[in-house]
Amino acid sequence: MALQLYFHPFSSYCQKALVALYENDVPFERQILDGPDSPAMQRLAALWPMKRFPVLVDGDRTIMEATCIIEYLGLYYPGPLSLIPADPKEALETRLMDRFFDNYVSTPQQRIVFDALRPEDARDPYGVAQAREMLDTSYAWLDRTMAGRTWATGEQFSLADCAAAPFLFYADWTHPIDARYANVLAYRRRLLQRPSFARAVDEARPYRGFFPLGAPDRD
């Protein structure tokens, strides 16, 4: 039975999982979540009542959360590129950077986007200001960290880069990366040139009109 991925192409966390699948040409069946009443969403709700995605189904196994999906693929569907280093110390650094991109880039970015989706009288300007401050802090830290690195942990593309690609992509749309963070901007450009992520970006182009802050005319 083929792997099934429940996802939406415009979702950053889904793109994180897609990058891993594309990096190693892992075949899978697409279960695109086209709205709350779509057949795929109804099947997802039966599998995972939280109805968060992506979700990977492998026979009788259901794997939630993008990071866990990528770890699962490495264990059960390994390919030429190992996205989790075999060395435990290198693996720890990879997971640390993965958590950084999840918690300190994606989380504040999504807080700003979700606020824009609220009715005007329910918005949280203070929370948005905090999120923007966190993104500025994250950009500054990442700029120092990426000095001399090609990818998130060095010269090897990894789980951390699967996270960085969509999260920095949308973060720059939401709260533009300042020109003084040249290392971050160069890293973002490299990620966009990576064939696996370029494919995910192209597949999501038809949905750009849904971005509540207005998708910029670039990328």
Tokens of 32: 């695109």
β-pairing verdict for 4-7 and 55-58: antiparallel
Determine whether domain 88-198 maps to CATH 1.20.1050.10.
yes
pLDDT band at 110 (very low <50, low <70, confident <90, very high): very high
CATH of 4-77, one of 1.10.3720.10, 3.90.950.20, 3.40.30.10, 1.20.930.40: 3.40.30.10
The domain spans of the chain are: 4-77, 88-198
The whole-number average pLDDT for the span 153-159 is 98
pLDDT score for 15: 98
CA angle 73/97/154 to nearest 5° reads 90
Q: How confident is the model at residue 13 (pLDDT cuts 50, 70, 90)?
A: very high
Residue 150: its pLDDT value, please? 98
Q: Is 144 exposed, middle or buried (0-12, 13-18, 19+ CB in 10 A)?
A: exposed
Q: pLDDT tens across 60-88, in order? A: 999 999 999 999 999 999 999 999 999 99
Asked whether residue 102 carries a pLDDT value surpassing 80, the answer given is: yes
Q: What is the pLDDT of residue 10?
A: 98
